[in-house]
Amino acid sequence: MKNFELERIKRKKLLETMKKSNIKKESENIRVCVPTLGHGGLNDYVSDHFGRAPTFTIFNLKTGEVKVIPNTSMHMGGSGYPPEIMREHGVDVMLCSGIGPRAIKMFEQFGIEVYVGATGTVREVIEAWKAGKLQEATDKNACKMHRHGHHEHI
């Protein structure tokens, strides 16, 4: 667990440094992930339901590499939770339309920043995030519909 905490702190410091010095985000080796509806890459559309998105599209800001991975979480008949899948793929930032409070906490534990308010295509979402138009996810703007007892969605 100490290792994750260290990684989280290092990543936070990197992102804070970038914000302070206004470094172009493209120059950093940051992997941005968007929950998507299919395999369309940057032209694919954002899935409204984060946990049940059929795929996740990961974009490397430095290399421009686009990787589409299937949602193999327990929500889709697989195992584990989406934040765990993101951690395995080295994701630094998750951009989604909305997300539940438990998922936000799990992402925080892994040092992955989450932003909400994403709509449109993956390309449009990444541009909106780079322009500072998406809101950082907090317990206050978490999907309230996700707060329903022990069967809470992630």
The C-alpha torsion from 83 through 124 and 142 to 152, rounded to 10°, is -50
Considering the domain boundaries, does residue 150 fall inside one? no
Considering the domain boundaries, does residue 87 fall inside one? yes
Give the CATH number, domain containing residue 71: 3.30.420.130
Total domain count, the chain: 1
Q: How far apart are CA 28 and CA 141, in angstroms?
A: 28
pLDDT band with cut points at 50, 70 and 90 for residue 151: very low
Q: For residue 83, give its domain range.
A: 2-141
Q: What is the pTM of this model?
A: 0.76
Residue 46: C-alpha distances to residues 55, 75, 104 (Å): 10, 17, 18
Name the helix (H) or strand (E) containing 126: helix 122-130
pLDDT band with cut points at 50, 70 and 90 for residue 16: low
Considering the domain boundaries, does residue 12 fall inside one? yes
pLDDT band with cut points at 50, 70 and 90 for residue 4: low
